[in-house]
Amino acid sequence: MPSRKASYWDYIRVEDLLALQSGIDASEHDLGNDEVRFIVIHQVDELWFKLVLRELTTARDLFARHPVPEDRLAGAVKSLQRVTICFELAAQHFRLMETMRTQDYLTFRDKLNPASGFQSAQMREIEVLLGLDDQDRIPFGNEGSYLDALKSHDGSPSPAYERVTKRIKDGPTLKAAVQEWLQRTPIHGSVPGDAGDEQAVQDWIDAYFAGHEKLYERALEHAVKTQALTGPDEERLRMRYEGQLKGARRHFEASDVDADRRAWVRRLRAAILFIDSNRRLPLLSWPGSVIDGLIECEQAMLAFRQRHARMVERVIGRRIGTGGSDGVAYLDQTALQYRVFTEIWAARTLLLPPDLSPSVRNRDFYGLAHDA
Amino acid sequence: MPSRKASYWDYIRVEDLLALQSGIDASEHDLGNDEVRFIVIHQVDELWFKLVLRELTTARDLFARHPVPEDRLAGAVKSLQRVTICFELAAQHFRLMETMRTQDYLTFRDKLNPASGFQSAQMREIEVLLGLDDQDRIPFGNEGSYLDALKSHDGSPSPAYERVTKRIKDGPTLKAAVQEWLQRTPIHGSVPGDAGDEQAVQDWIDAYFAGHEKLYERALEHAVKTQALTGPDEERLRMRYEGQLKGARRHFEASDVDADRRAWVRRLRAAILFIDSNRRLPLLSWPGSVIDGLIECEQAMLAFRQRHARMVERVIGRRIGTGGSDGVAYLDQTALQYRVFTEIWAARTLLLPPDLSPSVRNRDFYGLAHDA
Amino acid sequence: MPSRKASYWDYIRVEDLLALQSGIDASEHDLGNDEVRFIVIHQVDELWFKLVLRELTTARDLFARHPVPEDRLAGAVKSLQRVTICFELAAQHFRLMETMRTQDYLTFRDKLNPASGFQSAQMREIEVLLGLDDQDRIPFGNEGSYLDALKSHDGSPSPAYERVTKRIKDGPTLKAAVQEWLQRTPIHGSVPGDAGDEQAVQDWIDAYFAGHEKLYERALEHAVKTQALTGPDEERLRMRYEGQLKGARRHFEASDVDADRRAWVRRLRAAILFIDSNRRLPLLSWPGSVIDGLIECEQAMLAFRQRHARMVERVIGRRIGTGGSDGVAYLDQTALQYRVFTEIWAARTLLLPPDLSPSVRNRDFYGLAHDA
Amino acid sequence: MPSRKASYWDYIRVEDLLALQSGIDASEHDLGNDEVRFIVIHQVDELWFKLVLRELTTARDLFARHPVPEDRLAGAVKSLQRVTICFELAAQHFRLMETMRTQDYLTFRDKLNPASGFQSAQMREIEVLLGLDDQDRIPFGNEGSYLDALKSHDGSPSPAYERVTKRIKDGPTLKAAVQEWLQRTPIHGSVPGDAGDEQAVQDWIDAYFAGHEKLYERALEHAVKTQALTGPDEERLRMRYEGQLKGARRHFEASDVDADRRAWVRRLRAAILFIDSNRRLPLLSWPGSVIDGLIECEQAMLAFRQRHARMVERVIGRRIGTGGSDGVAYLDQTALQYRVFTEIWAARTLLLPPDLSPSVRNRDFYGLAHDA
């Protein structure tokens, strides 16, 4: 404990903090309330992003361990919940931003050019740390990559550029670490490397796919029985169900990925469905909550992006963005397309109702010592 | 005042209300918490929608008057704010819905088929009353129109069908009424029918367009001066600015609408920009707030739809909807495309910064008696 | 699965639902938007309260089992989270209520008299089911008990009266059930009835109290060292710390309860602190989350009450309530004083920092089968 | 426009901002996520408070003008709405703070001593600028005043102390400025200094008080007619109504204030009720919104304080605060007792239903030029 006597102003660094709102002008005195508010909201976002990065790093470090200690999973769930809350809080700020009318913003917008929210290094770091693939990024109008947009005007590395490139090197991503961990999940009590593990995984997948066949049969029967479908409507529905079943088969066979990764991906997909279908088993209860936490995080981030697009549309309409992007249309596109935990989202479409979900072998393996 | 002694249970109709949660089963006793919650959330949404319809009707009735009494505009703004709040409240319910895991929902989902949220008559009524054009609707998979989806299984008119068809007949829409009122806005103190009104409108439009030319020139100059644009990037930016200027011209000339409606649309568009640029004038302050209120309402409804899509994706993934739609993808599409107050949104893109905004003639016309 | 073809309007009972907003008038047609909104908000609250009662009953039924199956605790946590969300949603409605100006409310307030929100049977049922003690209730102005306020005007039992009296008979309360379960928590691996259980509990309490002595000593030392305390300020601080230590001792000794319940209360209090201090142990992780869930629920209910008081103050000021209460002052009083999980709240004040928290004997007892 | 090329990182001062989270330690590296989050949340609060101070100052400067230009009132309403939003956003952060468990906080709490949120200079500045009277402050345990708590440990003026003392000198308060402006409101078309102004005010007050007499008579009659009141209950109710009527008379007569200020306070009180009862008149519509905005601000600040108390209670229970206060109990007390706009709150209790509200003379005085 420091012998120094703490004061709120030293601890929170209040004076230093409150001296950072002059933008690119010499003094805050020349700025109107609208611009100071505009600056403050972005600063608050950056502060939340800092917390997001800390929590995601903590979670990533945990899942990168081998084995991951079971008694730390509740902590990881809490980290993910905090990330969710940070994005929810950040999404709330748009209410305040929207109190600025279009004309108010236009009084200082031009001088910002070409500064742009796309240059927020921490937002890019979050995407990198989560595991957004570079090839999934949508170019935003200029020639260069998203990294080029972070360079200084003379092309030299800016602090933002350095942050992001450093983050790119600091692997693994949360996605990679989590998937490794999920992929090792005991299925019917068997873990990778166990004799018979492949068979255990195959048994689970076969039983699960059989459940899907029953599910679609049942749904179609019900639709035919209860709805006055026209012939073409019935045919259309049947086609769609068959499409979904075919999609399910492709998923379980992992035929969409390269042959050398196929076994690994199959086990990963089987594991996600195994956890999500059996989360009342004590050993799987916190892993189930981790899955929920990841879905929540990504949903919150998506909602933040959509809310951002709405605010921009409301304040400036469909103008070209200061950074040179297509503005609102670009934001709406990235919101829906930037997905990280695609394997976990895919499982949502494939979960079976409890009565069709296969039963688990070796249940004792998943229990508490106390019950044993 | 009724002489009857009021009690909370009579006034709120508590017992009748709490007897409506048995779904299609004989008794609520057979239902689990998940299904009762599912039913209740939809009921609460319907209750909010009822309030939305009442407030929108009140606002519509006001704007359909001729002239619209100025001292009622603050009341209309409040009505619109209530609509916004209702959609915001309804959007909050998805948090509660999402506490239901996929498997929990699947235990009762099949029996709902083909019932679907698309059959919510009030939601359709809201769209109709607002003024969503039928040709802007996106078909959701089956052959029929959205009205067919509201018919009973034997093809007879359901209560939902009757509600919506009745609403369709009960014109005008809010959009039509508001646009008529906006279109009559005094411009430079001149109203439709005044001698010289066409010239007053044209003067305002000319001055406004000249402001746009200066705006883009200035923006491009600034971009060239401050950014290390590559040749192709500069060209791309110039093209986009020219595209926006061309769009502005098309807007002011109303060349996108039929010749017989052109003068009316031109005056409407001029009026919206006139109000939004001069809302500090007392006569225009509440009309300005009406414009904000309409934007807020539509934004809140859009946000409600997007939040709905997120909830559906989280709970059931990308399955086919119970009503036969494409599910999430359909919801995301309607969220972004169902727009009503397109003329008002368009103005957001065209507003000028105060220093480029034309000045107003006849300012006294817009003042208070007291100042005179 | 019913063979009946489901429609949204049948399933949600839309028409029945939308026919319940006429208050005490013959027809809704005579009512203004303000009164219909007032009615709807109360109805929505009643619908949330219905869900609250269902979730609390589910949780209560679980904790009343003996033993409580460990694999159901995550479900109980979810039930408690739903209760929290319901209160948070209900608290949001006040925003909508507050769009009604005082004068608008006064146009129909008189006819409600003596109907009052105090007559909400479900709110009283929630309090009863949670376990609010009758002697902790604050009388609200009239002579009778809260039950009398629920009787019909002729003194006969109303539906509200019947709901609440039935609920009172339907024990145990959630508080009682949870406390029984908590009190049985293994401490140092020992459960009630085990030989040496009393000693195990005493050991834990002794070690815990010793931690408290160190805590206060340390805090006082630090204060003296770092603060320029005046003599009287130092004395005042010392007295307060001593008061807190004395309070801690009374808590651990349970000297505030009757002698015949003392051993039971001591074990309960020890158990709460044992769980909360050691929740990383797998067997205690979900019990720890249950404790958090109860705190959250009660906090959300308190926040709902305080938000209610703020809305009332804003809309009607400090008038006498329709039910005859003191209005706002009464609401603020109940908000702060109606506490149910007092033993769990008390533990918040007594938790030790990790470095002073006693270590656990028999850690393996609290582990997973898999790790064994 | 600066020729300097703007970048996001320069404009937002990202690197400077993200270097301020090391608390009283040499490096952030030594801090856990909990402490960094604790620091960040306080910093975000300070940033919102900065915006609050800017908006309140803008509003204060406006109301301190004489006359206050009518066309700026809508802007003042927007300033007040922003203050409300800032407090609502700040209140949301407690959700994030509450993810920190008691034990997590205790790991670093001691070293903060005696730093305390009470030392937030900006919060004190907000209270001062609003116009909280010094004699209304509740002492928080130590000997000194709230200003002493802001001094450095050696007694010298800290930056916090300087901020607050500077603010105290920078009058007038918002309350004083607003009350001066409200007090000048034309009543029946008469302003202070007009011949007959006193009579106009008196007429309004007399008519208003007569409305109150009718209101209570009517309410009591209705209660007697519809409720089965026991004799003592009826007597109790009558006494309370008489108490309220007596309170109303005291209010209108301003017998609670010194004789020399009585006429001024009477006119102020009359003016508030005059505005709030007649806000559909164009000249009074924005003043009416100002009144609503002040009520909303103060309610939001109160709600922020209450939410703060709940968070503190949840995280640390009822311990002594780091600043030496009584902790939660102190926070709850200040939340309910720190009121600034007491005259405006008082009017809520005294507003009459429209049918009892007196009519306005000289209505044309309050109209638009256009209608004239």
Per-residue pLDDT of chain A (372 residues; tens, 9 = 90+): 344 578 899 999 999 999 999 998 889 988 999 999 999 999 999 999 999 999 999 999 999 999 999 999 999 999 999 999 999 999 999 999 999 999 999 999 878 877 787 789 999 999 999 999 988 998 876 656 888 888 887 888 899 999 999 999 998 999 999 999 999 999 999 999 999 999 999 999 999 999 999 998 888 888 888 776 778 878 888 888 888 899 999 999 999 999 999 999 999 999 999 999 999 999 999 999 999 999 999 999 999 999 999 999 999 998 876 666 678 999 999 999 999 999 999 999 999 999 999 999 999 999 999 864
Is there a contact between C325 and C316 (Cβ–Cβ < 8 Å)? no
Under the banding of pLDDT at 50, 70 and 90, the label for residue D130 is: very high
**D369/B365 Cβ within 8 A:** yes
Could you tell me if A291 and A276 are in contact, meaning their C-beta atoms sit under 8 angstroms apart?
A: yes
Per-residue pLDDT tens for C32-49? 999 999 999 999 999 999
pLDDT mean across residues, chain D? 92
From chain C, the residues in CB contact with B14 under 8 A are: 46, 120-122, 159-160
* Residue B274: CB atoms within 10 Å: 26
pLDDT confidence of residue B236: 83
Q: CB of C368 within 8 A of CB of A369? A: yes
- The ranges of chain B with pLDDT < 50 are 1-3, 372
Taking the C-alpha atoms of residue C143 and residue C141, their distance in angstroms, rounded to an integer, is 7
Using CB atoms, which chains have 3+ pairs under 8 A with C?
Answer: A, B, D
Spatial separation of the C-alpha atoms in residues B92 and A303, rounded to whole Å: 13
Residue A44 near chain D (CB below 8 Å): yes
Written as six digits, the tokens of B294 are 């309409």
Per-residue confidence (pLDDT) for residue D372, from 0 to 100: 47
Is C17–B47 a contact, with Cβ atoms under 8 angstroms apart? Answer: yes
A57: which chain D residues are within 8 Å (Cβ-Cβ)? none
Nearest to D93 by CA among D297, D295, D310: D310
Query: How many angstroms separate the CA of residue B2 from the nearest CA in chain A?
Result: 44
**b/e D87-118 (16+ beta carbons within 10 angstroms → b):** bbbbbbbbbbbbbbbbbbbbebbbbbbbbbbb
- Residues of A within 8 A of B346 (CB-CB) are 317
Mean pLDDT along residues D36-60: 98
A190 bridge partner residues:
A187
- Tell me which chains share at least 3 CB pairs under 8 Å with chain A: B, C, D
Query: In this complex, do A368 and C283 lie within 8 Å of one another by their Cβ atoms?
Result: yes
Residues 181 through 200 of chain B touching chain A, CB cutoff 8 Å: none
Distances (CA, A) of B285 to A263, B241, B347, D72, D75: 67, 32, 17, 10, 10
D-chain residues within 8 Å CB-CB of A25?
2
HSE on the CB side for B331, CA within 13 Å? 25
Q: What percent of chain C has pLDDT over 70?
A: 95
Backbone angles phi, psi at C147, to 5 degrees: -70, -35
Q: Do A366 and C364 touch (CB under 8 A)?
A: no
Q: Which residue has the tokens 């693939």?
A: A133
- pLDDT given at position B322: 66
What pLDDT is stored for residue D284 in this prediction?
97
Residues of C with CB below 8 A from D349's CB? 316-319
Q: State the ipTM, two decimals.
A: 0.94
- Minimal CA–CA distance to C369: which of A289, A189, A178, A358? A189
Touching B (3+ Cβ pairs <8 A), the chains are A, C, D
Helix axes A33-63, A73-97, angle to 10 degrees: 170
Mean per-residue pLDDT of chain C: 92
In this prediction, residue D142 has a pLDDT band, given cuts at 50, 70 and 90, of low
Distance in Å, alpha carbon of D136 to nearest chain C alpha carbon: 19
Chain B environment of C11 (Cβ under 8 Å): 23-24, 39, 112, 115
Exposure letters A316-338 (e unless 16+ CB within 10 A, then b): bbbbbbbbbbbbbebbbebbbeb
Closest CA to B166 of B124, B198, B135, B118: B124
Chain D positions in Cβ-Cβ contact with residue A158 (cut-off 8 Å): 7, 9
Structure tokens at A32: 């109107």
pLDDT at C214: 94
Name residues 240-279 of chain C within 8 A of A (Cβ).
279
CB within 8 Å: D372 and B368? no
- The C-alpha angle with vertex B121 and arms to B115 and B123, in degrees rounded to 5, equals 105
Tell me the pLDDT band of D319, cut-offs 50, 70 and 90: confident
- Give the chain C residue whose CA is nearest to the CA of D218: C110
A6 near C CB under 8 A: yes
Q: Which of B113, B100, B135 is nearest to B312 (CA)?
A: B100
Distance separating alpha carbons of residues A105 and A97, to the nearest angstrom: 10
Chain C residues in contact with B39 by the CB 8 A cut-off are 11-12
Partners of residue B279 in chain D, C-beta under 8 Å: 74
| Structure token digits, residue B224 | 């060239």
Q: Which of A351, A352, A356, A357 to mutate to test the interface with B (most CBs of B within 10 A)?
A: A351
Among A4, A15, A96, the residue with its CB nearest the CB of D159 is A15
pLDDT above 60 for C110? yes
Q: Which residues of chain A are within 8 Å of residue B141 when distances are taken between CB atoms?
A: 236
- What pLDDT score was predicted for residue C99? 96
Cβ neighbours of B354 in A, within 8 Å: 103, 106-107
Q: Cα-flanking dihedrals φ and ψ of residue A190, to 5°?
A: -105, 135
Indicate yes or no: CB of D7 within 8 angstroms of CB of A158.
yes
pLDDT at A87: 98
Q: What is the dihedral of CA A340, A341, A345, A351, to 10 degrees?
A: 170
Chains with at least 3 CB pairs less than 8 angstroms from chain D: A, B, C
The residues in C 63-122 lying below 8 A from D, measured between CB atoms, are: 102-103, 106-107, 109-111, 113-114
* Residue of C143, C269, C334 to mutate when probing chain D, most D C-beta within 10 A: C143
Taking CB atoms and an 8 Å limit, are B371 and D285 in contact across chains?
no
Contact C153 B5 (CB under 8 A): yes
Phi and psi of D38, rounded to 5°? -60, -45
CB-based contacts of D30, cutoff 8 Å, min separation 6: none
Radius of gyration of chain C (CA): 25
Separation in Å, CA of C3 to nearest CA in chain D: 46
For chain D, percent of residues with pLDDT exceeding 70:
95
Nearest CB among B7, B12, B158 relative to C43 is that of B12
pLDDT of residue D200: 97
Which residue on chain A is closest to C70 by alpha carbon? A282
Estimate to the nearest angstrom the gap between the alpha carbon of B224 and the chain centroid. 38
Tell whether the model's pLDDT for residue D62 goes beyond 70: yes
Residue pair C100/D347 in contact by the 8 Å Cβ criterion = no
Tally C–D CB contacts below 8 A. Answer: 151
Calculate how close chain C gets to D7, using CA atoms only, in Å: 40
Q: Dmax over Cα atoms in chain C, in whole Å?
A: 83
The reported pLDDT for the residue numbered D3 is 43
d(CA D9, CA D3): 17
**Residue D178 in tokens:** 């607003």
Indicate the pLDDT class of residue C324, thresholds 50, 70 and 90. Answer: low
Residue B187 dihedral angles phi and psi, to the nearest 5°: -115, 125
Judge whether A6 and D24 are in contact, CB under 8 Å: yes
The whole-number pLDDT of residue A33 equals: 97
